[in-house]
Every structure is written in C-alpha cells, then in structure tokens.
Chain A
Amino acid sequence: MSTTLFDKVWDSHVILKINDGPDVLFIDRHLIHEVTSPVAFLGLKSRNNTVLYPNRTFATADHNTPTINQHLPVEDPLSANQLKALAENAAEWGITHWGLGHQKNGIVHVVGPENGITLPGATIVCGDSHTSTHGAFGAVAFGIGTSEVEMVLSSQCIMQPKPKKMRINVNGKLGFGVTPKDVALFLISKLSASGATGYFVEYAGDVFKNMSMEGRMTVCNLSIEMGARGGIIAPDEKTFNYVEGRLFTPKGAAWDKAMDYWKTLKSDEDAVFDEEINFLASDIEPMITYGTNPGMGTGISDYIPKAESVEGGVASYRKSLEYMGFHEGDKMIGKKVDFVFLGSCTNGRIEDFRAFASIVKGRKKADNITAWLVPGSHDVEAKIKEEGLLDIITAAGFELREPGCSACLAMNDDKVPAGKVAVSTSNRNFEGRQGPGSRTMLASPLVAAATAVTGVLTDPRTLLINS
C-alpha cells in the first residue's frame, strides 16, 4: 500500500471515473446557508428535479445575519428575503434548518463539527470556500459554487477532477504566544496566496499532532487562502473524543463500525505526494498581514518587505500597499488600529475566546478601538458564559455579540468604515472585504487582544510575559 489519507477518502467516494474528465464523487454531507443556495433551489425547480437525500443536507443562516437584536425582525429587506428563502426551501424539502434565533444556529463551519455533521472519512461540501475547515477531522471537505450546490441537492454527487496531493510537515515545538492561526498565516506567507492551487494539502508533523481540534480547524480553514482546494489531518484519539456523542454522530453498533474504519485513515508510510514541504515550528512567530491577500504576511516583529524582494509583480504589490496606506520597510508593531474583530469560521471557537480573555483579563479596552467579539455559534456563546469568560471581557470593557459571519465579509451592518484599519481574526484581507474601503490586518486572537487593549498593533508576547 502506498496511498495517502486523501486518496483513501476520495477514492472510496468515486462512483464513476470519466476518461479525460472529472470523477463523479458521492457527497456524504452537504451544508447550505442563505447566500449561495437560493439560486440552486430555483434551478432545481426549473428542471423539475427533487432533493435526492434531504437528510444529507443541513441548513444554517450565518452570512447575512445581524449580530445584535437577533430576536427582532431583520431590518434589511434583502437579507430578510434570503433568510426567508432558506427557511422556505428547507421546509419544502424536509431539510434540517437552524435559522436565526434557533439554539443550534451559528456559522456553518462551526456548527457542523459541533453537531457531529462533520465526521472522519466523510466527503463534505458547502457553497463556501472555507468548507476546508472540516478537513481537521480527516474528512475530504471543500467549497463549491452554486451550480454544484444544485448538483448535490439533486444527485448527492459532484463532478470534480481529482486534485494533486501535497503534504506540509511542521515539526518541533511552537514558541510562546504562537497559535494555530500563526502557523497557517506563516505557511500562506511562504507558499503565497496561490502556491497550493490545484492541490489538496495534508498537514502532518508534531505541530498538528499536538494541536487541539479547534486549532486544526483554524489551520484547515485557511488552506483555501494558499489556493488549496482543501486541507486534511489524519484523525486520532483527539478527533474521536471530539466527535463522540454529538447530535448526528453514529451511535452504538454504527459507532463501533465507523471507528474500525476511521482508525485506518492515515497516509501509508510509503505514500507518495506530488509535493512535500517541511518547516520548523521554531521559525514561526506571531504573524500579521500587511497587504491585500493573505499571502502578504510577516512575523509581527518584522518590517514590510521591499517590492523587489517578493515574488510576483511589483505593480500589484505596490497597488496593494497603497490601498493599505503602508510603505515598503514600515515596521508593523505600533501601527495605529481602529477596529478589532474576534470571530469568524477561522477564529470564532471557544479556544479563541479563551485566548482573547487571557490577555484582556485585568486590562481595559483602548479608547480608540471599536471591538466586535462575535462567537461562532450559540454553543460557543454558552461556553463563553459557563467558563466565566464573559465576565472577564465585560470587565475589560468589551461586549459580546450574537453569532454569525459578521465583519469577516461584512454582508450585515458590521462594516469597517473606509480608510479605517482593523486587526481581524478572520481569513481575508482583500480590498473592501470588511466594508468598502476598509483595511484589514489578519492576526491571531492573541494579537487581536493585545491590540485591543493597547490601541496599536502589539506583540502579544509582551503582555503575556507581563501578566
């Protein structure tokens, strides 16, 4: 045997291989949300098709929802209309739907794992590029377009050419204050925003073995930001412990049978990858981005590179810095910041709130900072309260909002104004991503917290040592 983990999961779902064409891939679990599904349901109707397996699709409202006053009617008529369409389509076809206000509601990539929708060895798709998140469980999970959402609804399959395989090994021990987000931003800065395009990436080595499930989700989530279709990590005891007993997890004999299979899910020792890359954990420090794609990142204590020293076009690089209002050679630490966002499918889980609270505890929010703290789900929100984190962040002058995608893509009212700078724990620093004209620096929850209490970009290690 010389197959990779990815091969094992992918190949076991191929119904048909088309000569000089894509594979017909069976999809175990399909997640939908209000933004990329309405046109798929319209297409389904216009072809007189039906939803083949409603029990394999799960709906949650997240992209376009307010993060305050969720008990009141949604004010924006267009957003309200999308939420209504999702509810109606789910009801019409008998699809599980967790709408606004439902106790299970939250960001699609947070509630999937929380409820055992996400399982090792499964194929999982969603009309959202950060579906790669679910690879943290040893699933083959990736984002799809709306035509493919319709495909999955009507046939439970999609047609995809099989990606190439890459393995990224990070060995050694992560330094003080270095989080899974920093590992991912480091990898993207090394590979560039397109360096893994065409590949499915397996993450291996000490760093990922020792990482929590939440951390693995953060890393796999960001796979798409280096162009990869998805990321995958071999399931282990940590994975099985996380999955066991959740709402849609197999139970009893089905669990035992699943476990027998899941234990086989790892790359064979002699497995061959199209590309294999090694990094050392000790080379990674807390990261920050300075440009308008996630590949434009650097260690927080560093300076913005000169255009000549980076790969790619000088003109595009300079355009990007100009948008940010930054210059080549600028020092990152001490940059003025206006907004801090903690949340998203990247960093909206309980561990992220623990990290944030660990720094703001006993300190005060800086006056110049507007902070949005948005849990990934009601489950996360409940844990924040249970663990006493709400008291800590409230005492520090922060407020907790209600779950949703929020300022990550700013479809709702959580928009960073033009020209303002945000330190954000989300996944994209594209032009205008957090609101027209907004400027985004991507960072970990620790960096976000340190910045939120000082008012300028701050290395969290300085505060962690002090406390």
Chain B
Amino acid sequence: MAYEKFEILKSTAVPLPVENVDTDQIIPARFLKATERVGFGDNLFRDWRYNPDNTPKADFVLNNPVYKGKILVGGKNFGSGSSREHAVWAVYDYGFRCVVSSFFADIFRGNCLNIGVLPVQVSAEFLDKIFKAIEANPETEIEVNLPNQTITLLESGDQESFEINSYKKENMLNGYDDIDYLTKMKAEIQDFAEARPF
C-alpha cells in the first residue's frame, strides 16, 4: 500500500514519557480482529485512554486537549513486544506521522517505515529536552526535516540529527515501499529459488 510522501513535518507534539511502551498498550489484542485496515485509531492506547465503561480517562495525554499534533514522543524502548503492524496502523490512523523516542524496538521501527510513519531516534538528553519543552509550553513546535535528517525544537532552536539509511529515506521521500522494489526483482528471485535445496 503506497503512503503519503514525507519531507518536512512541522507540528506540535504529544508527550508520553513512559518507558517500554509495548504494542499491547498501543493496541490491545482484542482489537486485532478486523480483516481490513480501518478504524484502528479509535483504539490507540485503548486501555490507557478509556475506563472499562468506555468513558475517557481524564489523566491520559490523548484525552487532554492541550496536547495535540502529528508527532508522538515516547520513552525508551518504544514499540516493544508483539510484531502486530496494527500498532502502527493505529498510530497512523489516529493522525501521527512521526514517532520520536530515544530507542525503538526493531520490528516496530520496521513496521513504521513500511507504512510511512517516520521513527526518529534521538539521544536520551534530547528526548528529555523535548519532554521539558512541551511541559513548559504545549504549543512548542517541532520540525522534523527528513531531507536534512534533523529534528528541531523551533522555539529554542535546539537541534539534533537522526539516522535513516538512504534506501528507506528515498522511499519515505517518494512514498515508495519495499514491494514496489521487490516486484522489479522477480526474475532474479526466481533464479535464486530454483537453486535452493529446500
């Protein structure tokens, strides 16, 4: 599924300063029963966001109108656990285009890149700066610049660069995905398959 191109994103951000946010929190298993990719945003962080009677939990950040934007900022080891891509679908469907953390779980990071959500890994110090800046002013704007591979707190000018390999960067800038690439390699793949022992 092709996705929106990503170049420069300027937005306020939603802070979630919790470590080890696993994909069971991002989207609990009981919401994985759909056979189509629709409506997952409604259940993003379901059990942190709603009480058992489906009333919103007032103290959860997504229920606080002060915090909004297309950037989600999470604590260390974000997206650990289950490989469910539904977690990133929920993040995307809710309206986020970028997730910032000081450390991402491997599968979650890969899933993000595959559907057009940019995972931006920053140092622990810079992550702390972001949390503090948002705490001081929830209207703080952050610029994520993919061509330059930088993330900037626009108010203070604090900036850090982030890594992304040039293949994935090109994909994100153009809205391409791996399947587009592999489809063009079919003959080569078939030759390889012929020679496999099992």
Contacts and interface: CB of A to CB of B under 8 A. Distances in A.
A and B: partners? yes
Interface of A: 15-16, 18-22, 24, 26, 28, 35-36, 38-39, 42-43, 46-47, 49, 52-53, 63-64, 76, 78-79, 81-82, 85, 119, 122, 127-129, 143-148, 150-151, 154-161, 163, 193-194, 197-198, 224, 227, 229, 250, 254, 257-258, 261, 292-293, 295, 312-313, 315-316, 319, 409-411, 418, 428, 430-433, 436-437
A22 B165 contact: yes
Interface in B139-180: 165-168, 177-179
Contact of A250 (B107, B186, B198): B198
A194 B17 CA distance: 17
B88 interface: yes
B30 A161 contact: no
A157 B30 contact: no
Nearest to B108: A145
Nearest to A320: B20
28 contacts: A15-B185, A20-B167, A21-B167, A24-B185, A38-B36, A39-B36, A39-B85, A52-B189, A82-B35, A145-B83, A147-B114, A151-B182, A154-B183, A157-B185, A193-B80, A194-B80, A197-B106, A227-B105, A250-B197, A254-B198, A258-B197, A315-B18, A316-B18, A316-B19, A410-B30, A428-B22, A430-B24, A431-B25
Contacts of B35: 38-39, 42, 81-82, 85
Contacts of A292: 20
Contact of B19 (A64, A313, A432): A313
Contact of A35 (B32, B168, B181): B32
A85 B35 CA distance: 7
B182 A227 contact: no
Interface string B179-195: 10111011011101100
A151 B189 contact: no
Nearest to B188: A15
A143 B32 contact: no
A76 B30 CA distance: 11
Contacts of A26: 189, 192-193, 196
A155 B115 contact: no
B33 A18 contact: no
B111 interface: yes
A380 to B, nearest CB: 23
Contacts of A227: 77, 80, 105-106
Contacts of A197: 77, 103-106
Contacts of A36: 83-85
Given A127-B83, A155-B185, 17 more contacts: A35-B33, A38-B36, A42-B35, A82-B33, A144-B83, A145-B107, A150-B179, A154-B179, A155-B182, A163-B106, A198-B106, A312-B19, A312-B76, A313-B75, A316-B19, A411-B32, A437-B52
A147 B33 contact: no
A28 B198 contact: yes
B110 interface: yes
B83 to A, nearest CB: 4
Nearest to B50: A436
Contact of A156 (B177, B181, B193): B193
Interface of B: 1, 17-20, 22, 24-25, 28-30, 32-37, 47, 52, 75-77, 80-86, 88, 103-107, 110-111, 114-115, 165-168, 177-179, 181-183, 185-186, 188-190, 192-193, 196-198
Contacts of A21: 165-168
B34 A78 contact: yes
Contacts of A224: 81
Interface-centre pick from A63, A148, A257 (highest chain B CB count, 10 A): A148
A148 B40 CA distance: 19
A227 B105 CA distance: 7
Contact of A432 (B37, B47, B192): B47
A16 B198 contact: no
A192 to B, nearest CB: 8
Interface of A is mostly: loop
Nearest to B35: A38
B154 to A, nearest CB: 27
A76 B192 CA distance: 43
Nearest to B19: A316
Contacts of B82: 128-129, 409, 428
B18 A147 contact: no
Interface-centre pick from B17, B22, B110, B111 (highest chain A CB count, 10 A): B110
A120 B110 CA distance: 26
Q: Which 7 A/B pairs are nearest by Cβ-Cβ distance?
A: A21-B167, A145-B85, A78-B33, A147-B114, A143-B83, A145-B111, A155-B182
A102 B198 CA distance: 25
Contacts of B190: 52
B81 to A, nearest CB: 6
Given A122-B198, A197-B105, A145 B77 contact: no
Contacts of A160: 110
Nearest to B84: A36
A138 B116 CA distance: 34
B28 A436 contact: yes
A16 B167 CA distance: 13
Contacts of A155: 179, 182-183, 185-186, 189
A430 B22 CA distance: 7
A224 B179 CA distance: 25
B183 to A, nearest CB: 7
Contact of B106 (A18, A229, A431): A229
Nearest to A194: B77
A157 B190 CA distance: 11
